[in-house]
Amino acid sequence: MPEPVIRAFFDEPTNTVSYLVSDPATKKAAVIDPVLDYDHKAGTVTTDSVEAILAAADEAGLEIVWALETHAHADHLSGAPYIKAKTGARIGIGEHIKEVQRIFRPVFNATDLRTDGSDFDHLFTDGERFRIGDREAEVLYVPGHTPADIAIRIGDAVFVGDTLFMPDFGTARADFPGGDAKKLYASIQRLLALPPQTRLFMCHDYKAPGRDDYAWETTVAEQRRANKHVREGVTEEEFVAMRTARDATLAAPTLLLPSIQVNIRAGRFPAKEANGVHYLTIPVTFKKDAHAS
Ligand SMILES: [Fe+2]
């Protein structure tokens, strides 16, 4: 069976890689982690990034049947609803998204949000197999970065979400609510136990110091040999200590608050208010004595 055809789309403002993966035999395709362009300073939404994916699919004669999320992203808004609206694709995410919804519903006072995952069209379980045309894809539950991450294996390619970054950059943070460095280590070990030649596709790249170009494809063998955080020989204890210390130094991502409240709603914005305008919610925390009175 021919390998799936993979096209990557890099969104520099959010350092996100989206993928268009297709089955050459049937021309059915899935989009993984599509980005909605959101200008936080102006509060404006555009769709150039998803339009580029749709145009590429169109040009290749592909029918997009899935819009897949590896997790509820904290650094970009999902473009999945736009893809669904244009193609009828189903939006799928890991079933543990319910936990993420339960965590964040009170944070955003999102009283419209059901925490049963029903905003999504499909919730994937660990080990679940599904089809993209004649290709079989498999879902691997890989929590740690968030409680709900999945990786998606299609042929010899695995889309790892935010479990791993390129070997010279290491791994993703595990300090978001419900994140867990120990679980992330276990999830990474699960991926690194795949056959060495398995191709791994990252969801983000930040150009590690000393590297001039963005990169998002590597292999299990390369990660095992060279990942600066989890190469072979790094123990769970060492990883957790490193990850915890590093996470303590990281600022909140710029689009954390807008992203989470939209992405837990499967990319849906909070409903328009009476004046016909969508509003995002910013929960404000007063630190220590910040209250004036
Ligand atoms: Fe993430």
Place of tokens 């009170």: 106
Classify 123 as helix, strand or coil: strand
Give percent above pLDDT 70 in the chain: 99
Ligand 1 centre from 163 Cα, in Å? Answer: 8
Ligand 1 centre from 75 Cα, in Å? Answer: 7
62: left (phi over 0), alpha (psi -120 to 50) or beta: beta
Q: Please tell me the predicted confidence (pLDDT) of residue 248.
A: 96
* Geometric angle at alpha carbon 240, from 249 and 255, rounded to 5°: 40
Place of tokens 């959101």: 38
Ligand 1 centre from 174 Cα, in Å? Answer: 9
Ligand 1 centre from 142 Cα, in Å? Answer: 12
Q: Distance (Å, rounded) from C-alpha 33 to C-alpha 20?
A: 9
Q: Please tell me the predicted confidence (pLDDT) of residue 289.
A: 74
Ligand 1 centre from 199 Cα, in Å? Answer: 20
Ligand 1 centre from 83 Cα, in Å? Answer: 20
Q: Is the pLDDT of residue 217 over 80?
A: yes
Q: Is the pLDDT of residue 24 over 90?
A: yes
Q: Is the pLDDT of residue 291 over 80?
A: no
Class of domain 5-250+259-263: alpha beta
Q: What is the pLDDT of residues 249-263, one digit of tens each?
A: 999 999 999 999 999
Ligand 1 centre from 274 Cα, in Å? Answer: 33
Q: Is the pLDDT of residue 1 over 90?
A: no
Q: Distance (Å, rounded) from C-alpha 128 to C-alpha 111?
A: 31
Q: What is the pLDDT of residues 157-196, one digit of tens each?
A: 999 999 999 999 999 999 999 999 999 999 999 999 999 9
Q: Distance (Å, rounded) from C-alpha 101 to C-alpha 264?
A: 6
Q: Is the pLDDT of residue 293 over 80?
A: no
* Geometric angle at alpha carbon 223, from 153 and 68, rounded to 5°: 30
Q: Distance (Å, rounded) from C-alpha 69 to C-alpha 19?
A: 11
Q: Is the pLDDT of residue 270 over 70?
A: yes
Q: Please tell me the predicted confidence (pLDDT) of residue 292.
A: 62
Q: What residue ranges do the domains of the chain occupy? A: 5-250+259-263
Confidence of residue 2 (pLDDT cuts 50, 70, 90): confident
Q: Please tell me the predicted confidence (pLDDT) of residue 100.
A: 98
Ligand 1 centre from 219 Cα, in Å? Answer: 20
Q: Is the pLDDT of residue 211 over 90?
A: yes
Contacts of 73 (CB under 8 A, 6+ apart): 16, 33, 259, 263
Ligand 1 centre from 256 Cα, in Å? Answer: 10
| Among 128-142, 225-239, 275-289, the least confident range | 275-289
Q: How much is the pTM? A: 0.96
Ligand 1 centre from 291 Cα, in Å? Answer: 32
Ligand 1 centre from 72 Cα, in Å? Answer: 7
Ligand 1 centre from 88 Cα, in Å? Answer: 25
Ligand 1 centre from 235 Cα, in Å? Answer: 23
Ligand 1 ion local residues (Cβ < 5 A): 73, 162
Q: What is the pLDDT of residues 66-121, one digit of tens each?
A: 999 999 999 999 999 999 999 999 999 999 999 999 999 999 999 999 999 999 99
